[in-house]
Amino acid sequence: MATISSAGVGSGINVESLVSSLMSVEKQPLTKLQSRQSSYESKISALGTLKSALSTLQTAAKALTPATGSTATASLSAYKATLADSTIATATTTSSAVAGSYSLEVTALATSQRYALGKTFAAGDTALDFGTDSSRTLTFTKGSTTTTVTLESSQNTLAAVRDAINKAEPGVSASIVTDTSGKQNLLLTATSGGTANAVTIGGTATFIDAAAPGSPIAASSAFNQTLAASDAAVKIQGVSIATSGNSITNAIDGVNLELTKTGTTTLSVTRDNTDLKSKLDTFINAYNSLNTSLKNLGAYNASTKTAAVLNGDSTLRSIQSQVRNTIGSVPASLSGATFKTLSDIGIAFQTDGSLKIDSAKFDKAASANFSATAAVIGAFGSTMKTTTTNLLASNGVIASRTDGLNSSIKSMGNQIDAFETRLTMIEKTYRAKFTALDTSMTSMTTTSSYLSQQLSLLSSMASN
């Protein structure tokens, strides 16, 4: 009897087709589990999108929230200073500035102190006398601060001294000039102008005197002051102002001046809302981006009967409700204020739920009453910061929902693993049964064929 090498070949039973058909039915619960697991993973991804959008809104809200211990007016105020003649000085402002106009008269600029070494040397000549010491020092004292420059005995040329001073940055810069005869001199210049930046030279270093080789000159005596430090001479509104070099920091509230040349000009200080409007634009864009994400992730297409991944999700509804209520409700701090809502300063909801600023209305409100405008911005910035912080907290709705979904995914993963193991056993059982049936039917077919042959043979013999 011939050996059947492929199940179903001898019997005519298609074992592979039967097993495949039965297993497709058995796998239906597994497919549903995998589909649910995939949908949960999609929800987690969508929640991540909302988390990112909320985080962006939180950052934008923080930028509008007054600093601790500061009023909204102080935190959100900004000014710009403009000089009619910008070549006379440059000006910067702080939030404590006050709008106004001031006359500025600069009759003298500050000078930087200068020194020149009293002796000159040829390039590479030994300029310092170390005696029996391996090192000596140069000291530079500015006010109450002294910087010490240590020189090793190998650093005995003017170039070496120059490099050591510049490396230490002791309040002076060092340079070498060479005269027509090739002799070099060491020059020192205070790095900043004004009497407050003047330095005194000392230390144990001694410079060689070619005229008296045995009597080196102490550092404190070796340098000659060629230019004394002086402060600028300035008048603001006709009042003489004390200066530190060419800088004026305390004369006008919130204004810092850096003088660049002598002359007379006018300084104008005006409120500048450019940065505030930029922060508001960032806030509005962040809110609108979140609003778009909430709409898209919770949408339902009636024509295609297709629901977005978070359609009907309670977490999405909670976020949407809390954020919109924060924008639409009057903060407690504004209950008795002149302006109570964002729409009072030109920021209003559109039909699609987004926010839009009316620049003309905002400028009018800020110009008429900046303090009231700042109070509204600060209050809503603070409440939105609180709302987003709570939503993003480790025990907030996003984290809780994500943790729940991850737990479900893990549980489903265990179910899927167990189900796949069970399916393997079921398929093995089906295959064994149908293979046995195939073998039996093949044997029966072979026997039937043999008997038919024998009966045919007997019938033929009987006929003969």
Residue-range domain boundaries for the chain: 33-73+274-401, 79-110+231-271, 114-227
pLDDT of 119 higher than 50: yes
Position 402 pLDDT exceeds 80: yes
Q: How confident is residue 17, by pLDDT bands cut at 50, 70 and 90?
A: confident
Closest Cα partner for 183 from 126, 127, 122, 125? 122
pLDDT at 139 over 80: yes
Please give the structure tokens belonging to residue 222.
């070796």
Q: What is the pLDDT of residue 407?
A: 82
pLDDT digits (tens, 9 = 90+) for 202-222: 999 999 998 898 899 999 999
Per-residue pLDDT tens digits for 50-109: 999 999 999 999 999 998 888 999 899 999 999 999 999 999 998 889 899 999 999 999
How many Å apart are CA 39 and CA 416, to the nearest integer? Answer: 15
In whole angstroms, what separates CA 371 from the centre of its chain?
30
Indicate the angle between helix axes 28-64 and 397-463, nearest 10 degrees.
Answer: 160
246 DSSP 8-state letter: T
Cα end-to-end distance, the chain, whole Å: 29
Average pLDDT, integer, range 248-274? 93
Residue in the block written with tokens 């230019």: 227
Sign of CA dihedral 83, 85, 86, 89: negative
DSSP annotation of 396 reads S
Work out the percent of the chain whose per-residue pLDDT is above 90: 67
Lowest mean pLDDT segment, chosen from 22-26, 48-52, 191-195, 369-373: 22-26
State residue 5's pLDDT score. 43
**Residue range 270-297: average pLDDT?**
95
pLDDT in tens, 422-462: 878 877 887 777 777 767 766 666 666 666 776 677 666 66
Structure pTM?
A: 0.67
CA distance 119 to 223: 9
387: its two tokens = 């709302």
Pick left, alpha or beta for residue 353 (phi over 0 → left; psi -120 to 50 → alpha; otherwise beta): left
Residue 454 is predicted with a pLDDT of 63
Q: In this structure, which amino acid lies at residue 232?
A: A
- Checking if the pLDDT of 156 tops 50, the result is yes
3-class DSSP assignment, residue 211 = coil
What average pLDDT does range 184-189 have in this prediction? Answer: 97
Q: What class, spelled out in words, does domain 114-227 have in CATH?
A: mainly beta
